[in-house]
Structure 1
Amino acid sequence: MVCTSQTAQAISKAALLAAALSSQSLSAATMAAPSCRATVYLTFDTGSQSQAQLIAGTLRKYQIRATFFLANEKTVRGDYSLDQSWQPFWQQLARDGHAFGSHTFDHVYVVRDLPDGRIAVKPQFGPQAGKTLQWTQAEYCMELRRVTERFQQLTGQKMDPFWRAPGGRLTPGLEQAGQRCGMRHAGWAPAGFSGDELPSEQVSNARLLNKMLNGLKDGDIVMAHMGIWSRKDPWMPANLVPLIEGLQQKSFCFATLREHPLYR
């Protein structure tokens, strides 16, 4: 009888423990998978890279995947963003599951389409920096692919088939050049413009944050830089976490452009 009683007690305790664990697991699963009322797509263009580690750490903390558009830009470290010195950073972002697109290697701005089908462009970096050049669509495509090739060298992974023109300026000829490369151009929503390039003396971080929180809607693409040289009061440290938490409170979720209806 003693043996039977002890066995019954053990079985009862095991059942209670299993029920408690099951309840906890269900509760944890419910908390870990909140319902999404809408989805926004965070994207970041290379820049001075002053906020690069902050962005990477914040996204990791909140378990958010974003999309990065890469160009070989001068950084606050005195090197360039696609130098070998940045390899561990890009490798880690790739392991974290983020998406990546080309932003032209030398951060090449479009000037205008030319009557003969070529494109007038002006690189910001590289040996031809500051010069107005005339490129064919094939030459512009080669510039986009310089980034994809360098990214694969640094990370061992292929880039995604989308790109973004510096400044977001797109002409018909430029769009055709991207299509020639098998890439689709990704702009951003008006409410998704972070304003991190604007003078902080004229537009405060609080004002920019409020505009985004009140204006973003389902499917919108958000654009910010990984560091801006000119803005005295940087947008990123003040606004990135409040933006994420504010959108989460509104039941927004986040995804990469791989999941966007126009790019997946």
Structure 2
Amino acid sequence: MASGPSTTRRVDRRRFAAAVACAALAPAWSKAQDRSQPLYLTFDTGHMGVAGLVADVLARHQVPVTFFGAHERTKEGDGSLGDHWAPWWKARAAEGHEFASHTYDHAYWRADLPDGRFRIRPSAGPREGQDLTLDAAQYCAEIERGARRLDVVTGKPSLPLFRAPGGKTSPRLLAAARGCGWEHVGWSPAGFLGDELPSESVSNDQLLARALRNVRAGDILLAHLGIWSRKDPWAPAVLEPLVTGLKQRGFAFRTLRDHPRYAGWIARHARTR
């Protein structure tokens, strides 16, 4: 669903309902809604504690999304891109979702260095919390490693896109990534859905109301498959009413394969497994 020709299929709603009911066929996403009001819902990995709930909501409401995956620490299993979660990823691919790298070790950009290299700090993996110095090729390899692991667990090529953890980048970092065939995807101001914010200061009701009020056509929305720090999890309370509320406003959900900014890039840099 991000670069290249769209893989979205037109299906009869009754066929879709039957497929969901018997779990024998993957849902196919209808494009009957007005394409002039698209939204692009994206999920970054996290502790995966709400991954099952997210998948259920997306299937129930026929919402295609783009997942950005890093190999993060999880509440259960061997990490978000580990073997424990591989069946979950494979099922999402069968449903028609798209995937892109979030770097493998969820590596934050910290600074550009005078010699042209970058200071990076992974928040996962064996060097978690350590400041590392990478050149452009090494940073590209970190993106590629995440993409290749997604290729394995999903069974389909991930998109030639990436999202830097925290959205932290520099012009030099973005240029280096583009030189290796990776285009960065951030999110829209109103698309920051707030699931990372402390629930003590921002309630789920407030986050839902804000999103329903402020989201506009063309926005890229950001949520996560689990945030360790938020005490009142966002997804169980907000995701379903947000999806239904936005659909009632006439929005149609798409993956980044259909995004006008990225479709051409994806077509020119299409990956194979």
TM-score, normalised on structure 1? Answer: 0.86
Please give the alpha-carbon distance, in whole angstroms, between the structure 2 residues aligned to 1:55 and 1:194.
14
Identify if the C-alpha distance between structure 1 residues 32 and 38 changes in structure 2 by more than 3 Å, giving closer, same or farther.
Answer: closer
What corresponds to 1:233 in structure 2? 232
AA at the equivalent of 1:122: R
Structure 1 position 35, deviation (Å) = 3.8
Written as runs of structure 1 = structure 2, the 5 A alignment for 1:1-264 is: 33-35=32-34, 38-264=37-263
- Do the aligned partners of 1:137 and 1:173 also contact (CA within 8 Å) in 2? no
Whether the 8 Å CA contact 2:39–2:217 is kept in 1: the answer is yes
Deviations 1:181-240 (A, max 9, x none): 211100001101011111101011111111111111111000001000110111111100
* Alignment check: 8 A CA contact 1:71 1:102 kept: yes
Deviations 1:51-97 (A, max 9, x none): 10111111111111000000000111142011111111111111111
Is the contact between residue 67 and residue 100 of structure 2 (CA under 8 Å) also seen in structure 1?
yes
Alpha carbon RMSD of aligned pairs, Å? 1.4
Q: Distance in 1 between matches of 2:127 and 2:77?
A: 19
Query: What SS does the aligned partner of 1:149 have?
Result: helix
Structure 1: which 5+ residue stretches go unaligned?
1-30
Distance across 2 between alignment mates of 1:96 and 1:136: 37
How has the CA–CA distance of structure 1 residues 178 and 238 changed in structure 2, closer, same or farther, with 3 Å as cutoff?
same
Task: Name the aligned partner's letter for residue 174 of structure 2.
Answer: E
Query: Does the CA contact (< 8 Å) of 1:70 and 1:101 recur in 2?
Result: yes
Aligned residue in 2 for 1:28: none
Identity of aligned residues (%): 50
* Inter-partner Cα distance in structure 2 for 1:109 and 1:168: 9
Structure 1 residues 182, 32: CA separation in 2 closer, same or farther (over 3 Å shift)?
closer
What is the DSSP-based 3-state SS (H/G/I as helix, E as strand, rest coil) of the residue aligned with 1:104?
A: coil
- The amino acid that maps onto 2:170 is T
Deviation at 1:141, TM superposition (A): 0.2
After TM superposition, the score normalised by the length of structure 2 is 0.83
- SS of the residue 2:115 aligns to: coil
Stretches (4+) displaced over 4 A: none
Q: CA deviation at 1:32?
A: 8.9
Aligned length: 234
Partner SS, residue 97 of structure 1: coil
Whether contact under 8 Å (2:92, 2:154) holds in the other structure is no
CA contact (8 A) 1:119 1:173 kept: no
Taking the aligned partners of 1:164 and 1:260, their CA distance within structure 2 comes to 15
Tell me the distance in 2 between the aligned counterparts of 1:32 and 1:74: 36
- Structure of greater relative contact order (alpha carbons < 8 Å, 6+ residues apart): 2
Q: CA deviation at 1:179?
A: 0.7
Rg larger in structure: 1
Cα contact 2:33–2:251 (8 A) shared by 1? no
1:34 deviation in Å?
4.2
User: Aligned to 1:59, what secondary structure does the other structure show?
Assistant: helix
Q: What's 2:12 paired with?
A: none
Equivalent residues of 2:107, 2:122 under 8 A apart? yes
Q: Is the 1:152–1:159 Cα contact (8 Å) retained in structure 2? A: yes
